[in-house]
Structure 1
Amino acid sequence: MSRAPPAPDPEAHGSAGEPAAAEDEVVQIRLGDRSFPARKRQLLEQSDYFRALYSSGMREALAEPGVQRLRGGLSAAGLELVLDFIHTARLGRLERGDDDDGELPLLDELVEAASYLQVTPLLRLLRSQVRLGNCLQLRHLAQVYGLPELEEACLHFMGGHFHQVLRRPEARPHLLLPSALRLQLQERRMQGTATLLALGNFVGPLASQGRPPLEESPCAMLRYDEGARRWLGLPSDPPADLGNVRGYGSAVLDNYLFIVGGYRITSQEISASHCYNPCLNEWSQVASMNQKRSNFKLLAVGGKLYAIGGQSLSNVECYNPEQDWWNFVASLPSPLAEFSACECKGKIYVMGGYTARDRNLNILQYCPTSDNWTNFELCDVHLRKQQMLSIEETIYIVGGCIHELGSNQNPSQNEDMLTVQSYNTNTREWLYLKENTSKSGLNLTCTLHNDGIYIMSRDATTSLKHRVFLKYNIFSDRWESFRHFPTFGKNILVCSMYLPNHT
C-alpha cells in the first residue's frame, strides 16, 4: 500500500492567499474497490492532471467531498507507485541500486499511470533510470505514451551501449531488435567528430598538451586536433596489460576499437580481446579467441570480426558481438607469413607474404556468406609486410616490400621506400601511385580518414622510435607532411573513430 501522507501543518498557508487547510487536506483516491490516501497539495504540485481537475471544477472533482475517483483502466499497482513518488519525490525501490542489470519492476504500470496523471517530475526522473535491463522496454513505453524526451534518453543510452544492448535476452531472435532501430543506433554511434587516434607505448612529455608525462603510462592514447595540428592526450588509458603486447590485431567495428591477441615481450602468445568504446570513453574486456595468435589480421566485415591466420596458422575465427563469442570458420588454403588483408565490398582479400614453401602470389578472396576461400587472381609482383585499405571497389596497398617477378633488381634496393598502389577488384587493374622516397615503407601504421590515408612512419635514415606523421590524398595523388610526431614511441597504432563532441 502507498504510505499515508504526513499530517497537515496547521501553521502553513496555501498558495495565492488560500488557507493551507484547503490544499493540505487528505483526499481518498478511489480506483475500483481500492482507496489510496493522498495530500491534495502534493497532488496539485506534482500532477498536471489533478491540477487541471481541481482548478476547472469538473464534475469528477465535486461528486464526493474528500474523494476522487479515477477511471481509464489504470492498474492499482501503477497508481500506488505514482502516489508513492508524489509523497516522497523519489522512486523508492524503483531507483537504480547496486545491481547493474537493474530492471525496474512494474515498469509498464508505472509509465502508464504517470502518463495518465501527467506526473511530469516522475517522467523526467525516469530519463536518469535508463539501464541495460530496461532500455528496450522503456523506449517502447515512451513511444506508446508519446514521451519524446524519455525516448531520446533511451536511444542515447542504447547507442552508447550498443553491443551490450544486442546481447540482451529481449533483443534475441524471439524479440529481435528491429532492423530500423538497429540502424538508428549504429548511426548514433557515428555522431560526433571523426578523429584520428594513436595508441602505443610513448616516451616523452605531453604535459603541456593536457596530460601527465607519458613516462607514467606504459600504454596511452592520443587524439589529433586537426585545427591546431597537434596531438592531445585522451583521458582513458588502455588496460595496463596491453602495454607489453606486440603483434596484436586491431579493427574498428560499430565505432568500437578492438585490440585482440598478440604476444607479450616474453614471446608468449595470447588470445585476450579488449575493446574501447569512445561514446563512454572506457575500455572493457570481451570474449577471448579460441586460438592464441599473433602477427595476424583482424578485419570488420558485415557486423562481425574475422581473425585471419597468424604465426604458422591457417585457421580463421569469427567474432559475433551479439553473442560475445568466437567460432572457427573456413581456414586459409595454407598458413601465410608477412601477408596483409582488408575488407572490400563485403568480402575479404588476402595478398602477399610467404607460404611454407614459396612466395604467395595468389590474391585470395573469402566470402562470409558461403564461408569459402577462392583464388581470385594471380599477381605478377610479390608483396610482403604491406598494409591494405579499401574504398568502394578499390584496394590501396601502402608500404611494404615490392618485388617485380623477373626483375634483376635486388629486392633490398627498394624495400625502405613508402609507396601506394591501388587495385580495382572489378576491373582487376593495378595503378602505381606517387612514391615518397624520403619515408620508410616498413613498420608503419595507417588508416583511412576523411579524404586520405594517414600514415605514421619514420624517416628512412632515422631510428625506428622516431615517428613522422603524413597523409596521402587519394583524390589528388599527393603527399602532405605534418609536424614530426611530438614524442618517441613504439608499437603504435593509428585509427579513425568518432568521438563525442564534448570530448
Structure 2
Amino acid sequence: MEEIKPILRHGKKIRSNKKMLLLVGGLPPGPDRLPSNLVQYYDDEKKTWKILTRGVHNGEYVPWLYCYDPVMDVWARKQDMNTKRAIHTLAVMNDRLYAIGGNHLKGFSHLDVMLVECYDPKGDQWNILQTPILEGRSGPGCAVLDDSIYLVGGYSWSMGAYKSSTICYCPEKGTWTELEGDVAEPLAGPACATVILPACVPYNK
C-alpha cells in the first residue's frame, strides 16, 4: 500500500471518538478556479473552522481513490477506478462505495460517464456493475434511503440540459428506477440528506 503524506501537516491529530463535522473540497469563486484540496473540520469548542489537511489533486480528470487516516495524518493511495471521472457522486451502502455519474473529457468534449462502479474496501477492488445509470448526470444530489441510492437532478452533457427527475438504484436487485414526479425546477449540485421524522410529523406536510 502506497502512503502519501499530506502537502501540509499541522501537528494536530484527531485522537478522540467524538463525531466531527468535516468539509472536503468545494469550488471557490474566481475565473480560473480549481477545486479546493482542503479538508477542514469544525472545532465545536472554539466555534471555528480549522484546516485538518490537504488532499491530492492536480485539476485533471483522474480515476484515483485516496483514503485519509486522521489519526496518523496520512493519505493512502487505493485502487484506481476503471474510469476517469469528475463531478460524480459517491454513495456509501453496506460497507461499499458506489461511484455514480459524472463526466470526462474526450478531446474538448465533455462526455457523460454511464458506468457505475462499486468499491470493496476490504479487497481494495473496484467492480463495474452490469447495470449502467439510466442517463448521464453530473453533480446530482445523492442520498441513501432504506435499500436504495437516490439521485436528484444533475446535468446531462449528452442532452445539454439540467435534470428535474429523480432516479434510484437498488444494489440488491441491480436495477434502476425513475420516480414519478419532478422537483420544482431543473438543477445541478443540490445537497440531499436522509432524516428520520418524529412520529408526530405528518409525511404530507
Q: What's the TM-score, normalizing by structure 2? A: 0.69
Structure 1 position 320 matched with structure 2 position 136: no
Structure 1 position 238 matched with structure 2 position 54: yes
Counterparts of 2:102 and 2:183 in 1: how far apart (Å)?
A: 25
User: Structure 1 196/354 Cα, relative in aligned 2: closer, same or farther at 3 Å?
Assistant: closer
Q: 2:141 aligns with which of 334, 340, 346?
A: 340
- Tell whether the 8 Å contact from 1:309 to 1:316 is kept in structure 2 after alignment: yes
- Tell whether the 8 Å contact from 1:344 to 1:391 is kept in structure 2 after alignment: no
CA shift, 1:325, in A, is 0.5
Task: Report which of the two has the higher share of helix.
Answer: 1
Counterparts of 1:198 and 1:306 in 2: how far apart (Å)?
A: 20
The within-5 A match list for 1:366-381 is 366-379=169-182, 381=184
Amino-acid identity (%): 25
Structure 1 position 222 matched with structure 2 position 22: no
In structure 2, the residue corresponding to 1:231 is in which secondary structure? Answer: strand
Structure 1 position 390 matched with structure 2 position 188: no
CA shift, 1:288, in A, is 0.6
CA shift, 1:364, in A, is 0.8
- Tell whether the 8 Å contact from 1:344 to 1:392 is kept in structure 2 after alignment: no
The within-5 A match list for 1:21-170 is none
AA of the residue aligned to 1:387: A
Count residues in correspondence. 166
In structure 1, the residue corresponding to 2:54 is in which secondary structure? Answer: coil
In structure 2, the residue corresponding to 1:364 is in which secondary structure? Answer: strand
- Tell whether the 8 Å contact from 1:302 to 1:346 is kept in structure 2 after alignment: no
Counterparts of 1:283 and 1:337 in 2: how far apart (Å)?
A: 26
AA of the residue aligned to 2:44: E
In structure 1, the partner of 2:80 is 288
Q: Is there any run of 5+ residues in structure 1 with no aligned partner, and where?
A: 1-99, 101-190, 202-217, 245-263, 395-426, 432-503
CA shift, 1:363, in A, is 1.6
- Tell whether the 8 Å contact from 2:89 to 2:99 is kept in structure 1 after alignment: yes
Counterparts of 2:91 and 2:179 in 1: how far apart (Å)?
A: 19
In structure 2, the partner of 1:58 is none
CA deviation profile, 1:312-355 (whole Å, cap 9, x unmatched)? 11211000111101011121111123422221123101111344
- Tell whether the 8 Å contact from 1:344 to 1:393 is kept in structure 2 after alignment: no
CA shift, 1:392, in A, is 3.9
Counterparts of 1:334 and 1:369 in 2: how far apart (Å)?
A: 20
User: Structure 1 392/233 Cα, relative in aligned 2: closer, same or farther at 3 Å?
Assistant: same
User: Structure 1 316/334 Cα, relative in aligned 2: closer, same or farther at 3 Å?
Assistant: same
Counterparts of 1:322 and 1:276 in 2: how far apart (Å)?
A: 16
AA of the residue aligned to 1:305: L
AA of the residue aligned to 2:182: C
In structure 2, the partner of 1:276 is 68
CA deviation profile, 1:290-329 (whole Å, cap 9, x unmatched)? 0000010011111100000111112110001111010111
Higher relative contact order (CA 8 A, sep 6+): 2
User: Structure 1 223/353 Cα, relative in aligned 2: closer, same or farther at 3 Å?
Assistant: closer
- Tell whether the 8 Å contact from 2:63 to 2:81 is kept in structure 1 after alignment: yes
Counterparts of 1:195 and 1:383 in 2: how far apart (Å)?
A: 32
CA deviation profile, 1:436-465 (whole Å, cap 9, x unmatched)? xxxxxxxxxxxxxxxxxxxxxxxxxxxxxx
Counterparts of 1:339 and 1:199 in 2: how far apart (Å)?
A: 17
- Tell whether the 8 Å contact from 2:102 to 2:139 is kept in structure 1 after alignment: no
In structure 2, the partner of 1:55 is none
CA deviation profile, 1:130-163 (whole Å, cap 9, x unmatched)? xxxxxxxxxxxxxxxxxxxxxxxxxxxxxxxxxx
Counterparts of 1:232 and 1:342 in 2: how far apart (Å)?
A: 27
Q: What's the TM-score, normalizing by structure 1? A: 0.30
User: Structure 1 392/301 Cα, relative in aligned 2: closer, same or farther at 3 Å?
Assistant: farther
User: Structure 1 328/339 Cα, relative in aligned 2: closer, same or farther at 3 Å?
Assistant: same
Counterparts of 1:360 and 1:299 in 2: how far apart (Å)?
A: 19
Counterparts of 1:309 and 1:362 in 2: how far apart (Å)?
A: 14
Q: Is there any run of 5+ residues in structure 2 with no aligned partner, and where?
A: 2-15, 27-35, 104-111
Structure 1 position 195 matched with structure 2 position 20: yes
Counterparts of 2:25 and 2:118 in 1: how far apart (Å)?
A: 26
User: Structure 1 192/219 Cα, relative in aligned 2: closer, same or farther at 3 Å?
Assistant: same
